[in-house]
Copies of this chain bind each other. A is one copy, B any other.
Amino acid sequence: MKIDNLNWSILKLLQENARYTNAEIGRTIGLSSPAVAERIKKLEDIGVIDGYKAEINHIQTGYQLKAFVTLRAFMGKLKPFLEQVKTYKEVLNCYRITGNENLVMEVVLYDQFHLEEFIDKLITYGEVRTSIVLSNVIENNPIGKNR
């Protein structure tokens, strides 16, 4: 897939603010609004744009803690966990990874008690490592143009 400069400009703007109108985008990059609409539709169709998501401040919604939790699954426990994890609403993201651990999860939690409950759910599946997020150094840095 080849992405031209205009499409990169559109992607940049939509990563900054997914609610920009086609007209606004068009004015910024020097294109008519139907042209912008057509380009965005194509980017969606070919899967370059996966979707549009509101960024929620988890602290403001009552989730006081954010953490990265890794799991090194016990023998035969990875597969059942991959099903179970889908039922955990604390988990924002979960990835299979290389290395000593099998999975890394990004989770939000109400408080320390909630964290304890969450870890308790995991320890039957494998070794758990928890890293609590202290602050955001970089958040949602947009993907830019390829070389």
Chain A residues engaging chain B, CB cutoff 8 angstroms: 1, 3, 11, 14-19, 46-58, 60-63, 66, 68, 82, 85-86, 89, 91-99, 101, 103-105, 108, 110, 129-144, 146-147
9 A-B pairs, CB-CB below 8 angstroms? A19-B52, A52-B55, A63-B146, A86-B138, A89-B141, A89-B144, A92-B143, A93-B136, A101-B131
Provide the residues of chain B in CB contact with A132, threshold 8 Å: 97-99
Residues of B within 8 A of A135 (CB): 95-96
Bound-complex Cα distance A18 to B85 (A): 25
CB distance from A84 to the nearest CB of B (A): 11
Q: Given contacts A3-B61, A68-B104, A94-B138, is CB(A55)–CB(B56) below 8 Å?
A: no
**Complex-state Cα separation, A83 to B61, whole angstroms:** 30
CA gap between A48 and B133 in the complex, in Å: 19
| Beyond known contacts A56-B143, A92-B143, A104-B131: 13 more, CB 8 A cutoff | A14-B54, A15-B54, A52-B52, A52-B55, A56-B142, A82-B137, A86-B137, A86-B138, A93-B141, A95-B135, A97-B131, A101-B131, A105-B138
Task: Give the distance to chain B from A50, nearest Cβ to Cβ, in Å.
Answer: 4
Task: Give the Cβ gap from A75 to chain B, nearest Cβ, in Å.
Answer: 19
Given B11, B60, B139, which contacts A46 in the complex, CB threshold below 8 Å? B60
Contact between chains at A57 and B50 (CB < 8 Å): yes
